[in-house]
Amino acid sequence: MENQEIARIFSEIADLLEIKGGDPFRIRSYRNGSVVIEGLTESLKSLYEKGAKGLEGIPGIGLSLREKIIEMLDAGKCKYHDELLKELPAGILDLLKVSGVGPKKAALLYKELGVASVNELEKAAKGHKLHDLPGLGEKSEQNIIKAIAGLRAVSGRFNLHVALSHAEDFKAYLKKIPGVSTVESAGSLRRWKDSLGDLDILVIAKDPVVVMDAFVNHPDVKDAISKGETKSSVTLKSGLQVDLRVLEKKTFGAAWQYFTGSKEHNIALRDRAKRMGLKINEYGVFTEKTGKRIAGETEEDVYKSVGLPWIPPELRENRGEIEAAEKGGLPDLLEVSDIKGDLHVHTMESDGSNTLEEIAAAAMKFGYQYVAITDHSRAVGIAHGLDEARALKQIEAIDAFNERLKKSGKKFRFLKGAEVDIRADGTLDHSDRVLSKLDCAVGAIHSGFNMSLADMTGRIIKGIQTGKLNILAHPTGRLIGVREAYQVDMEAVMDEAKKHGVALELNSYPERLDLNDVYCKRAKEKGLLVAISTDSHSIAHLSNIAYGVHAARRGWLEKKDVLNTRGLKEVRGR
Ligand code: DGT
Ligand code: CA
Ligand code: CA
């Protein structure tokens, strides 16, 4: 079992215990254990394989959790988790996916109304059964109905990072099959779309039959939907569908281009080819008149045959990329290696799991020049947000740490920052005394997501107008597959941000990717800077920067459009 799965099971145990009304100390220890495991850089499996003591001494993992980890590594399951699941109805954990419903509310809904699934919750809300319960009103009923609709609208699609881990696993598996020379992903995955309908994988192989046999027998496969010599489709246990195509070398480029999509891009490209007297399909590019094949082995050839340079997959959405390519005006897209630092990182002081020391060491491994420490302000109580005294103390600690870095000859520095809440009335959740000492104030909305369009826009604009913010964090508040963006007039927010020199964040958490691609492109057009940050709560999250960079590429961003491609001096001087 991998760390991620063990962390998920611990988090579910905490949820289940909380719904049941279990011992708060125990609930906290499982929840904390889950966060710690998510943040580990080494796999529990390999620590365990090193010997009996391998799992000892992990902070936050006591004897009881350690025993459960060993049980999961040995037996692949956790009896305690299974028992808890048996005690409660199967659909109850799904209630927690509805925005606004936490374990306490789920427990209340279950005990008072017997609600044990999302469908039942929807029925109860629509039947006005909720507003008499403590802490719920008519407004909550409406919000729950909306949240469930949102959940449905996005379900059926898979989050990018879930799909990506499956894809990597399948690619490694297929590469090992004798006679397989090339394995590539196509479709929305190759375009780094933020959610995926299914996975598309292409291979070149000598013997398709061997490949297809291995494919449908992959241990994650639940059902084979279809199995042929050139194409097979399977559904995985997780519900994700994977399409595999076996191709010949001489048509691979055309197929890769075709199956990478998007469909809209392909249609525009096909129309262009037609105007040139050419026919383009998954087998190649052909002249209309004679049917002669003029391209197909590589993607470059395919694009060249219609008079275009190769177009990076992230741009292939028919949002102007073909016209730009024609004019030689494709953007020189941002690369992961352009990123010089991270401007949104949490420590143990709020809800992160690492110390300054650990973060500095990890960031230097990334080759970063700086990291802005941006712990929560006190409005975010559950995240142990900092009040003035703690914030001032942290600022001193960072100064002292930077002094030590300097003495030891290190180039790396911390920036003094905060993720400061923009309160419902648009004021900031830190005193001017704190704000004036910061290098990097990141404004954020963490509550009151259901405000009207006018109120939310006004709130954010007021926050920007304080003149104290440097960056606006996760500007639309969406959680992919969980919660839709709050209502906000982003045009107005962007205009105000531009006026006050505030950069917009592209939060790299794969569930957020907020700003989305379309807003990124718009921000660039308006001349705003985007800060691509990880919002790391553990050093293991720092690598999420790749998701942010690819999302930014989908938004046409270049190095010059991104704040944290700049060096330490330039960033601090802002
Ligand atoms: P997804 O799976 O919904 O996240 O999105 P895609 O883009 O991966 O779509 P998928 O898996 O249905 O098909 C893969 C690619 O195949 C798609 O991006 C473009 C190509 N394709 C599929 N259907 C059509 C079509 O009807 N016309 C054209 N021109 N291309 C298509
Ligand atoms: Ca697909
Ligand atoms: Ca597909």
CATH number, domain at 44? 1.10.150.110
CA 485 to chain centre: 15
Q: Residue 165 falls within a domain, yes or no?
A: yes
| 494 plus 345 within the same structural domain | yes
Atom 19 (ligand 1) nearest CA: 261
The pLDDT score that the predictor gives to residue 132 is: 85
Q: How many structural domains does the chain have?
A: 4
The pLDDT score that the predictor gives to residue 574 is: 61
| 275 plus 299 within the same structural domain | yes
- Closest-approaching ligand to the CA atom of 267: 1
If we measure between CA atoms, which residue out of 399, 242, 331, 256 comes closest to residue 555? 331
d(CA 15, CA 9): 10
CB 80 within 8 A of CB 64: no
Q: Is the pLDDT of residue 154 over 60?
A: no
| 31 plus 126 within the same structural domain | yes
- Going by pLDDT thresholds of 50, 70 and 90, the confidence category of residue 2 is confident
Give the predicted TM-score (pTM) of the model: 0.78
The pLDDT score that the predictor gives to residue 152 is: 66
The pLDDT score that the predictor gives to residue 383 is: 81
* CATH (domain of 207): 3.30.460.10
| 513 plus 426 within the same structural domain | yes
CA 493 to each of CA 51, 533, 534: distance values in angstroms, whole numbers, following the listed order = 55, 19, 22
* CATH (domain of 303): 3.30.210.10
CA 555 to each of CA 160, 295, 391, 490: distance values in angstroms, whole numbers, following the listed order = 16, 29, 35, 15
DSSP letter, residue 564: G
| 166 plus 143 within the same structural domain | no
The pLDDT score that the predictor gives to residue 155 is: 63
As for ligand 1, residues whose beta carbon falls within 6 Å of it are 187-188, 193, 196-198, 200, 258-259, 261-263, 266-267
The pLDDT score that the predictor gives to residue 331 is: 98
Domain final position from 154, 186, 211: 154
| 170 plus 318 within the same structural domain | no
Q: Residue 53 falls within a domain, yes or no?
A: yes
The pLDDT tens digits for 193-224 are: 999 999 999 999 999 999 999 999 999 998 99
| 264 plus 374 within the same structural domain | no
The pLDDT score that the predictor gives to residue 157 is: 84
Q: Residue 331 falls within a domain, yes or no?
A: no
| 175 plus 51 within the same structural domain | no
Q: Which of 25-29, 118-122, 322-326, 555-559 has the lowest mean pLDDT?
A: 118-122
Q: Is the pLDDT of residue 119 over 70?
A: yes
Domain final position from 125, 154, 183: 154
- Going by pLDDT thresholds of 50, 70 and 90, the confidence category of residue 466 is very high
If we measure between CA atoms, which residue out of 462, 484, 470 comes closest to residue 531? 470
Mean local confidence (pLDDT), 222-233: 94
Q: Residue 320 falls within a domain, yes or no?
A: yes
- Going by pLDDT thresholds of 50, 70 and 90, the confidence category of residue 444 is very high
Contacts of 494 (CB under 8 A, 6+ apart): 504, 519, 522, 523, 526, 528
| 425 plus 563 within the same structural domain | yes
* CATH (domain of 426): 3.20.20.140
Distance 189 CA to ligand 2 centre (A): 7
| 319 plus 344 within the same structural domain | no
Contacts of 201 (CB under 8 A, 6+ apart): 167, 170, 171, 174, 183, 184, 185, 186, 242, 243, 244, 245
Distance 1 CA to ligand 2 centre (A): 27
Structure tokens at 344: 């949104």
CB 371 within 8 A of CB 414: yes
Q: Residue 429 falls within a domain, yes or no?
A: yes
Q: Residue 393 falls within a domain, yes or no?
A: yes
Within 10 angstroms of residue 543's Cβ, the number of other Cβ atoms is 15
Percent of the chain exceeding pLDDT 70 equals 99
**How do strand 284-287 and strand 278-281 relate by DSSP bridges?**
antiparallel
Q: Which residues form the domain of 122?
A: 3-154
Structure tokens at 127: 């039947």
Distance 243 CA to ligand 3 centre (A): 6
Q: Residue 277 falls within a domain, yes or no?
A: yes
| 86 plus 21 within the same structural domain | yes
The pLDDT tens digits for 496-549 are: 999 999 999 999 999 999 999 999 999 999 999 999 999 999 999 999 999 999
Distance 236 CA to ligand 3 centre (A): 14
Q: Residue 351 falls within a domain, yes or no?
A: yes
> What are the φ and ψ backbone dihedral angles of 522, each rounded to 5 degrees?
-65, -45
Domain final position from 308, 326, 344: 326
Contacts of 84 (CB under 8 A, 6+ apart): 13, 16, 17, 20
Query: Is residue 307 left, alpha or beta, with left meaning phi > 0 and alpha meaning psi from -120 to 50?
Result: left
- Going by pLDDT thresholds of 50, 70 and 90, the confidence category of residue 90 is confident
| 293 plus 406 within the same structural domain | no
